[in-house]
Structure 1
Amino acid sequence: TRLLRLVIIGVGVLCILQVALNVSLRLALYKPQPAPDEVICVNKTEDMCKLKQETRQYLQKGWLYFRDSFYFISSVQKTWAESRTDCQQEDADLVIINSREEQIFITQLASDRLTWIGLQEVAGTEQWIWVNEAPLTDRFLPFLNIKIEWVPVPV
């Protein structure tokens, strides 16, 4: 009986030591994972910082910001094709007017100079399309009431 009592006490002590070891290892090695909402917040913060930095870079280069888009008017006169190439080299394109507000903004922005927009005539037709290949509609473009013709650009 004495031997049995020693074995039971020994096993009990070993169990207590094992529990203590498990708890201490768990506390030492456990790194809490953020809740999914916290991860989203961290990612959104990083995205916002990146967006602010990109916005600052565009504004420093002379781009203008209006309703989630950036606009640039070059001081160098070029052909439509050259202008579009310049835009594409900046990961942009000639402007596609999507709203009355954007049209007013562009009109005011370009009021004192010749500017190109992303509108082109389909070869051999009198139909016009935007650079994204969407057809031209007359929903907010009052210049459709005038005769459509190219304005000569000084060379």
Structure 2
Amino acid sequence: MLKWPVFLKDTDGYVYMYESEKELKYSVEYSDIVNKEYTGWDVNGREVSLEWVDSEPDIGEVVIKETGIVRYNHLKIAITEFAAKHGKLNDSEIEEKVNIVDLYNAVDKKIFSPSKKDIAWIVVFLLASIILIYFIMFADKKTIDYLLGLMDAFIY
């Protein structure tokens, strides 16, 4: 019996985790299912396949089927290759994760979470944008000329 979460690996090597059938069905694309671009497993390593079933012309539904084959190591390898492809997680970090969900979450966090440096640049950009908008909207000509003079002095 299928046990959630379900993991899908696409043809580019990206691995995605879906907590529910609804989440999976709303995330995958028709063309990817028809072209068999996903390899899938449940949390216990049981292989799953995705099929598109037409209920009416131009209307269909994603059906998740178990193949009956258990390949837990294939699931773990898919996640570790996903991590390696992005240069994230070393061998000791991988080995210490006993639970496959914990391993996936560690990889996902390293790959998709912004670094402190990225966040700092975003904050600087947002603050500069707010200041610029403020001056465009509320500054008089004398203030703008003064600021332009400061910029010239700073640049030269």
TM-score greater than 0.5 by the shorter chain: no
Structure of larger gyration radius? 1
Q: Under TM normalisation by the shorter chain, which class is it?
A: under 0.3
Q: Which one has more relative contact order, counting CA pairs under 8 Å at least 6 apart?
A: 2
Structure with more of its chain in strand, by fraction:
2
Q: What TM-score comes out, normalization by structure 2 length?
A: 0.24
